[in-house]
Amino acid sequence: MIKAGIIGATGYAGNELVRLLMGHKEVEIKWYGSRSYIDEKYARVYQNMFEIVDDVCLDDNMEALAEQVDVIFTATPQGFLAGVLTEDMLQKTKIIDLSADFRIKDVATYEKWYKLEHKSPQFIEEAVYGLCEVNREKVRGARLVANPGCYTTCSILTAYPLVAEGLIDPNTLIIDAKSGTSGAGRGAKLPNLFCEVNENMKAYGVTSHRHTPEIEEQLGYAAGREVTVNFTPHLVPMNRGILATEYATLVRRADGSLPSYEEVKAVYDKYYAKEKFVRVLEKDVCPETKWVEGSNYVDIGFKIDGRTGRIVMMGALDNLVKGAAGQAVQNMNLLFGFDEAEGLNLVPLFP
Amino acid sequence: MIKAGIIGATGYAGNELVRLLMGHKEVEIKWYGSRSYIDEKYARVYQNMFEIVDDVCLDDNMEALAEQVDVIFTATPQGFLAGVLTEDMLQKTKIIDLSADFRIKDVATYEKWYKLEHKSPQFIEEAVYGLCEVNREKVRGARLVANPGCYTTCSILTAYPLVAEGLIDPNTLIIDAKSGTSGAGRGAKLPNLFCEVNENMKAYGVTSHRHTPEIEEQLGYAAGREVTVNFTPHLVPMNRGILATEYATLVRRADGSLPSYEEVKAVYDKYYAKEKFVRVLEKDVCPETKWVEGSNYVDIGFKIDGRTGRIVMMGALDNLVKGAAGQAVQNMNLLFGFDEAEGLNLVPLFP
Amino acid sequence: MIKAGIIGATGYAGNELVRLLMGHKEVEIKWYGSRSYIDEKYARVYQNMFEIVDDVCLDDNMEALAEQVDVIFTATPQGFLAGVLTEDMLQKTKIIDLSADFRIKDVATYEKWYKLEHKSPQFIEEAVYGLCEVNREKVRGARLVANPGCYTTCSILTAYPLVAEGLIDPNTLIIDAKSGTSGAGRGAKLPNLFCEVNENMKAYGVTSHRHTPEIEEQLGYAAGREVTVNFTPHLVPMNRGILATEYATLVRRADGSLPSYEEVKAVYDKYYAKEKFVRVLEKDVCPETKWVEGSNYVDIGFKIDGRTGRIVMMGALDNLVKGAAGQAVQNMNLLFGFDEAEGLNLVPLFP
Amino acid sequence: MIKAGIIGATGYAGNELVRLLMGHKEVEIKWYGSRSYIDEKYARVYQNMFEIVDDVCLDDNMEALAEQVDVIFTATPQGFLAGVLTEDMLQKTKIIDLSADFRIKDVATYEKWYKLEHKSPQFIEEAVYGLCEVNREKVRGARLVANPGCYTTCSILTAYPLVAEGLIDPNTLIIDAKSGTSGAGRGAKLPNLFCEVNENMKAYGVTSHRHTPEIEEQLGYAAGREVTVNFTPHLVPMNRGILATEYATLVRRADGSLPSYEEVKAVYDKYYAKEKFVRVLEKDVCPETKWVEGSNYVDIGFKIDGRTGRIVMMGALDNLVKGAAGQAVQNMNLLFGFDEAEGLNLVPLFP
């Protein structure tokens, strides 16, 4: 039984972490950190936890916390962890960071897209990008895991095998992503009010969303060269779920013909057939967010368009599970040598 | 490890049963019965089950099924089980019926409200009404359990202690209930289309809803006399959840004064303090359906109105869990001597 | 062509006023008052008004405004108008107040329920409660109209004829009301976030909601005596619409029998047959909020319950139209002698 | 005052036509055709029309109808009008067809995408594609107007000026469209049930949706050559609204640089500055469906991506208004020489 602390436990991702860890056999939560609700009962902030969690919220003292637990989850705003992280902490505890602070290897890129000065660039190199299906072995030995973003997990996993195997031209990649509103967090902001989101559809962060460089960096590793993509997020009137619709030009065979359905499917299977949490759907089945809600699955489907020579790839996940807390638990399982699926055997909840 | 069969496995309650039984250590599903989808893969009907359930749907042959399993769940339309049930089946297997066929002891009442002839009244007497918190001991020894309705579970549990202890006049009871749309089932009917339900609120079945006599019968047992109530269901644009707002006149003390908050609370605690799945909330906290979604909890709150001498009781549950499949599993646990909460340690999913 | 000013033009009710006045032949808006958005273009705050409204937002200087316009709408927080109103203003302009400041005749009652000191009680007496179907003649001659609340308009009109004609015992009246979320306003508050409201149902303000005394006062006039009721509002995951489900014990005839459907219907027709904006539905038809969305209608239905001796009355309206801006325009039409329906010939928008 | 008939008056588009024509000064509806509801009161099918429309539904006898009215709207399934249309009808009345029967000039293309034999190809040539902003003059003289599809109106108008003026390479065009559920019609189909659509996002008709050839044909006219695009529709849990996010590679200047924001804006303004119903938004403002709901507007915004050399264009409209009934009324206004905006001065309804 290991001990865990959560900083940012009263955000939506924090609450989801609590839900998942409650069902994990090997972990005990010792610290519910929440700057906004110090000394309040956690179950008063999240009434779903009534009679389940008795603890009160504590502050975000990482140093004190590092003394007490085996792993810290930081579900905090950008810049928090980079602002407080020390070598001493990392010698005492493992850290899984759900913010973007250590996801991007190039500091200049981070600072440009996030418009923040990075306060502890010395830890970027060692941080492991915790996309489990891609970096499993590296995660096992890490001290600091940069848990991927919700859009990025979906966007990358959907295209990764085809980029890695050269079936598509990565610079033609256009990612049109749609997200439920929990991705916007629990801050009391006018654009996230019920009446503003409900009965509405909009794009935002067009050409400038911060998940873009994260996607480009990871797909760049797959391609073996720099990759530039279009990524457009949209806000959907639903609580959970991300759907990424991705368009790319297929690389034709020497004779000018397009790869077949079977060839593309074989490439997906090569990467994902043994992956419990990635489900490549049957032919002509499109992923839908409702089929993964509450679970750690990513569902992937695709369709080849012979008319335009493009492929349309689609991926769906639950932004709070595989897109945040679930992947964080998966990373924790890798870090501590637990069964990778422990605490994550979640059957999607429908309807 | 016992074996279970589900008849009506492709309705919403059937799918929820599958979800819950997948997480139950002592049960294996051997039969996914669905008259509409015979020979189709279950996971094509419910894509959330892809790579989780490999079985194809079978028919609804109860006789064949009774030979093979220890327990049958019938999540079927009214009249189905009554039409096929035999003594032979009950000698071979236990049956938990999610329909209303065996909930009401008086056949005439059943036939009047359901407008159906009851085909096997000889089993009504032995059937146990499976409201676990009230009938726990009776359920343990049963062969046939009548699993309560979703509205009724919520409506009864919210008022039960106050009726049983004489704190309210049961004939003043008015139950105004609101339900998510999954309660209407998966049939392709115009009134349940997205555009008809979304952005709308309506009452239905006013003064004539079939759950009325079920509520009256059970509260009548609590009161020790016949009880007549108003019950009005409403359809809410959400998937899951029932909220029952219940109004009743408090019985005044000899001096004409009203019972205090503490007295009422003590009565609730007397009945529910040890009940894992009933959470009596703290003072002035109103239950909300979002705090129980996906779980087997019923949350209860109340408020005394000194001005009118009435009490407003509120109960919330997930209609597919405590209101259907969850309670069915709870009943199964009682029938087979498992831990009553096995498979039901579900933390509510939010948001 | 008269001139109008709106204070609080950037709230939801303010925006709805703008929408309605844009379609009104006799009015021109001269002042878009909004303390929060001074000097910003109105159409940047409400993008629906792009290329329709070119004005920028102004402050809430009532004195300056009173010089310039024939009528002022105050869609402002409680206490604002009472804090600034002067005899001088009322001599220069008419005022239609969408807040509660002048709705309640008894200052003590106002101060108790609103927990505010009333700053200009001297105008309460002359203020006319602008429930047009009830107070039409008084409104015509008024200087100051107290526009009714959304819940109250729905709750009162649904029960009014039966109370006035003595068909029900008003002290048995229980009003269970359900509202869309626009009723909560456009303030950036956590409980009104999309993820908090969506997929949820809750009661709030139980036994203490401020619309209670307003309902009691008006129904008291109808009854000719003091009336005490239970009123419970609920928040529904939809943008617009209020449904009030109201329960009351019918007054029996001398022979102990209940009034018939036809008798009750005749009483409703007596009051509403000539009312354009009140639609008494056909037998057994329940009102639904979707059928009045965007319009100034109140739809009313009812059902007699012979078993309990109660009647279930149901009323539905659009909280931003008949419950706020529409009724304000209807009052303005009365004040200035326009056709009462001018600007309000709105066909409900569905779906 | 002209007379109009509607065939298919009980579909969502039919109901919207009724709503709009109720507010039109020059038209009277004489025929509410609905094969499914013959002899039922229209207002029982659409309760919003209670006390507004007194008529009963009639059959779909086009010959009888052509005798009686000046214009017929056919809001019918594909193939209906082509199956019954005669020269005689067209000599007696004008027809505005909301189905796809006469939208596509090439019969083979129609038959391939719609999998239907076209029963009256002889009228295709004369039919005018009723995209008013593009074909205004042709519509004025027409007898038969093919009212554009909802997705196509949005998709075409968003890209049209840039294709026509050669600013983008039309063969790089990728249209990712998102629609509210009213676009799926009022048929009682399982995939359109509330619980199936709510809390879900999915693509459908990937690479094969029937609106594709319609978009390609019209943009081909703009480009002066054949155009092939990717078009992917998605279903969104909301009632109304379409958002099209469109991606295309900008044509670079001779020096390799990209066109500027001002150049692109000027091209949009050239086409739309005088168009009442097309609103090109201010710089960096993204269209949102909520800002056009209930109105005939199309809102357009765009963003140049210097990194990828692409432009992201976005268009939003109400699928039942500009995407169906509103455009049909606009076409009718052109046909009969009315003010083009008569009956369409609709301020968007928010929230």
Partner-chain contact C239 A198, CB within 8 Å: yes
Percent of the residues in chain A that have a pLDDT greater than 90, as a whole number: 100
With cut-offs at 50, 70 and 90, classify the pLDDT of residue A85.
very high
Helices C211-223 & C107-114 angle (0-180, nearest 10): 150
Nearest to C199 among B176, B198, B290 (CB): B290
Residue A255 sits in the same domain as residue A166: yes
| B326: in domain | no
Give the tokens for residue B315.
């109960």
Minimal CA–CA distance to D326: which of D170, D142, D132, D144?
D132
pLDDT at position B330 is 98
Residues of chain B short of pLDDT 50, as ranges, are none
Calpha distance B37→C148 (Å, rounded) = 54
Q: What's the sign of the alpha-carbon dihedral D135, D136, D142, D143?
A: positive
* Cβ atoms of residues D271 and D296 within 8 Å: no
Mutate to test the interface with C, among A193, A239, A240, A349 (most CBs of C within 10 A): A193
Residue D103 sits in the same domain as residue D42: yes
* D48 in reach of chain C (CB within 8 A): yes
Write down which residue in B74, B93, B126 finishes a domain: B126
Partner-chain contact D178 A178, CB within 8 Å: yes
CA of C186: which chain A residue's CA is closest?
A190
Nearest to B237 among C203, C238, C303 (CB): C238
* Cβ atoms of residues A34 and A58 within 8 Å: yes
Q: Residue A90, Cα to own-chain centre: how many angstroms?
A: 22
* B200 in reach of chain A (CB within 8 A): no
The pair phi, psi for residue D92, each rounded to 5°, is: -100, -30
* C281 in reach of chain D (CB within 8 A): yes
Calpha distance B90→D142 (Å, rounded) = 74
With cut-offs at 50, 70 and 90, classify the pLDDT of residue D68.
very high
Calpha distance B111→B246 (Å, rounded) = 27
Name residues 3-22 of chain C within 8 A of A (Cβ): 12
Residue C307 sits in the same domain as residue C228: yes
The pair phi, psi for residue C37, each rounded to 5°, is: -130, 30
Chains with 3 or more CB pairs under 8 A to chain C: A, B, D
Partner-chain contact B186 D193, CB within 8 Å: yes
Calpha distance D208→D187 (Å, rounded) = 21
Segment C15-65, tens digit of pLDDT? 999 999 999 999 999 999 999 999 999 999 999 999 999 999 999 999 999
Nearest to C193 among A188, A199, A237 (CB): A188
Residues in CB range of B10: below 8 A, 6 or more apart: B32, B34, B36, B37, B42, B45, B46, B57, B186
Catalytic option among B57, B132, B150, B154: B150
**How many Cα neighbours within 13 Å face the side chain of D222?**
29
**How many Cα neighbours within 13 Å face the side chain of A237?**
35
Q: Which residues pair with D74 in a beta bridge?
A: D7, D97
Partner-chain contact C351 B206, CB within 8 Å: no
CA of C190: which chain A residue's CA is closest?
A188
Partner-chain contact D52 C288, CB within 8 Å: no
| C342: in domain | no
Partner-chain contact D199 B239, CB within 8 Å: yes
Residue C166 sits in the same domain as residue C259: yes
pLDDT at position C81 is 98
Name residues 245-264 of chain B within 8 A of C (Cβ): 245, 247
| B144: in domain | no
Which chain A positions have a beta carbon within 8 Å of D245's beta carbon? 176, 203, 232, 234
Give the full edge-to-edge strand order of the sheet including B310-317.
B202-203, B230-235, B174-179, B242-249, B310-317, B298-305, B278-280
Average pLDDT rounded to a whole number, residues A18-36: 97
Domain ranges, residue D32: 2-126
Calpha distance A28→A20 (Å, rounded) = 11
CB atoms within 10 A of CB B23: 17
Which chain A positions have a beta carbon within 8 Å of D228's beta carbon? 307-308
Chains with 3 or more CB pairs under 8 A to chain A: B, C, D
Nearest to B174 among C174, C202, C236 (CB): C174
The pair phi, psi for residue A328, each rounded to 5°, is: -65, -40
Average pLDDT rounded to a whole number, residues A65-79: 97
Mutate to test the interface with B, among A49, A268, A349 (most CBs of B within 10 A): A349
Calpha distance C253→C251 (Å, rounded) = 7
Minimal CA–CA distance to C158: which of C225, C248, C232, C98?
C248
Residue B116 sits in the same domain as residue B232: no
Mutate to test the interface with A, among B46, B50, B238 (most CBs of A within 10 A): B50
Calpha distance C345→D263 (Å, rounded) = 43
* A312 in reach of chain D (CB within 8 A): yes
Calpha distance D91→A317 (Å, rounded) = 56
Partner-chain contact D198 B239, CB within 8 Å: yes
pLDDT at position B13 is 98
pLDDT at position A280 is 98
Q: Are strands C298-305 and B174-179 parallel, antiparallel or unpaired?
A: unpaired
Cα Rg for chain D, rounded, in angstroms? Answer: 20
Helices (H), C34-131: 42-45, 62-68, 80-84, 87-92, 107-114
CATH of the domain at A211: 3.30.360.10
Partner-chain contact A194 C189, CB within 8 Å: no
* D349 in reach of chain C (CB within 8 A): yes
Segment C68-109, tens digit of pLDDT? 999 999 999 999 999 999 999 999 999 999 999 999 999 999
pLDDT at position B187 is 96
Residue A165 in 3-state DSSP? Answer: coil
Name residues 317-346 of chain B within 8 A of D (Cβ): none
CB atoms within 10 A of CB A337: 9
| A257: in domain | yes
Calpha distance A170→A193 (Å, rounded) = 37
- Long-range contacts of the stretch A128-131 (C-beta < 8 A, 24+): A129/A103, A129/A218, A130/A96, A130/A327, A130/A328, A130/A331, A131/A156, A131/A157, A131/A218, A131/A327
Q: Which helix (H) or strand (E) holds B266?
A: helix B261-272
The residues of C carrying an active-site annotation are 150
Which chain D positions have a beta carbon within 8 Å of C299's beta carbon? 47, 50
Residue C122 sits in the same domain as residue C159: no
Calpha distance B125→A260 (Å, rounded) = 64
Chains with 3 or more CB pairs under 8 A to chain D: A, B, C
Which chain C positions have a beta carbon within 8 Å of D48's beta carbon? 290-293, 295, 347-350
How many residues in chain C? Answer: 351
Which chain C positions have a beta carbon within 8 Å of B207's beta carbon? 303-305, 307, 312
Which chain C positions have a beta carbon within 8 Å of B289's beta carbon? 199-202
Calpha distance B18→B9 (Å, rounded) = 8
Minimal CA–CA distance to D74: which of D127, D9, D125?
D9
| C131: in domain | no
CA-to-CA dists, residue C310 to C125, C151, C243, C303, D69, angstroms: 36, 22, 19, 9, 50
Cα Rg for chain B, rounded, in angstroms? Answer: 20
The one-letter code for the residue type at A157 is L
CATH of the domain at A21: 3.40.50.720
Residue A55 in 3-state DSSP? Answer: coil
CA of D320: which chain C residue's CA is closest?
C351
Give the tokens for residue A297.
């699955």
Write down which residue in D59, D93, D126 finishes a domain: D126
Residue A122 sits in the same domain as residue A162: no
Calpha distance B49→A290 (Å, rounded) = 11
* A109 in reach of chain D (CB within 8 A): no
Residue A176 sits in the same domain as residue A122: no
CA of B300: which chain A residue's CA is closest?
A50
| A160: in domain | yes
Write down which residue in C126, C159, C176 finishes a domain: C126
Residue B256 sits in the same domain as residue B293: yes
| D139: in domain | no
The b/e string for B302-325 (b: 16+ C-beta within 10 A; e otherwise) is bbbbeebbbbbbbbbbbbbbbbbb
How big is the CA angle at D298 (ends D296 and D301), to the nearest 5 degrees? 160
* A48 in reach of chain B (CB within 8 A): yes
CA of A297: which chain B residue's CA is closest?
B48
Q: DSSP letter for D54, please.
A: -
Segment A261-303, tens digit of pLDDT? 999 999 999 999 999 999 999 999 999 999 999 999 999 999 9
How many residues in chain B? Answer: 351
Residues in CB range of B255: below 8 A, 6 or more apart: none
Which chain A positions have a beta carbon within 8 Å of C189's beta carbon? 188
Minimal CA–CA distance to D232: which of A176, A280, A153?
A176
* Cβ atoms of residues A53 and A42 within 8 Å: yes
Residue B193 sits in the same domain as residue B54: no
Calpha distance D190→C109 (Å, rounded) = 53
Q: Which helix (H) or strand (E) holds B154?
A: helix B150-164
Segment C210-239, tens digit of pLDDT? 999 999 999 999 999 999 999 999 999 999
Which chain D positions have a beta carbon within 8 Å of B238's beta carbon? 198
CA of C234: which chain B residue's CA is closest?
B245
Mutate to test the interface with D, among B36, B195, B198, B349 (most CBs of D within 10 A): B195
| C143: in domain | no
Q: Are strands D242-249 and D310-317 parallel, antiparallel or unpaired?
A: antiparallel
Partner-chain contact C239 D351, CB within 8 Å: yes
Question: How close is the nearest chain C Cα to the Cα of D285, in Å?
Answer: 9
Residue D169 sits in the same domain as residue D121: no
Partner-chain contact A198 C198, CB within 8 Å: yes
Which chain C positions have a beta carbon within 8 Å of A183's beta carbon? none
With cut-offs at 50, 70 and 90, classify the pLDDT of residue A343.
very high
Domains held by chain D: number: 2
Calpha distance C346→C23 (Å, rounded) = 10
Residue B235 in 3-state DSSP? Answer: strand
* Cβ atoms of residues A236 and A199 within 8 Å: no
ipTM: 0.97
* B273 in reach of chain A (CB within 8 A): no
Which chain A positions have a beta carbon within 8 Å of B240's beta carbon? 351
Residue C202 sits in the same domain as residue C90: no
Average pLDDT along chain C: 98
Which chain B positions have a beta carbon within 8 Å of C243's beta carbon? 201-203, 234
Residues in CB range of C260: below 8 A, 6 or more apart: C304
Helices (H), chain D: 12-22, 42-45, 62-68, 80-84, 87-92, 107-114, 132-140, 150-164, 194-197, 211-223, 261-272, 326-336
Q: Which residues pair with C305 in a beta bridge?
A: C310
* B154 a catalytic residue: no
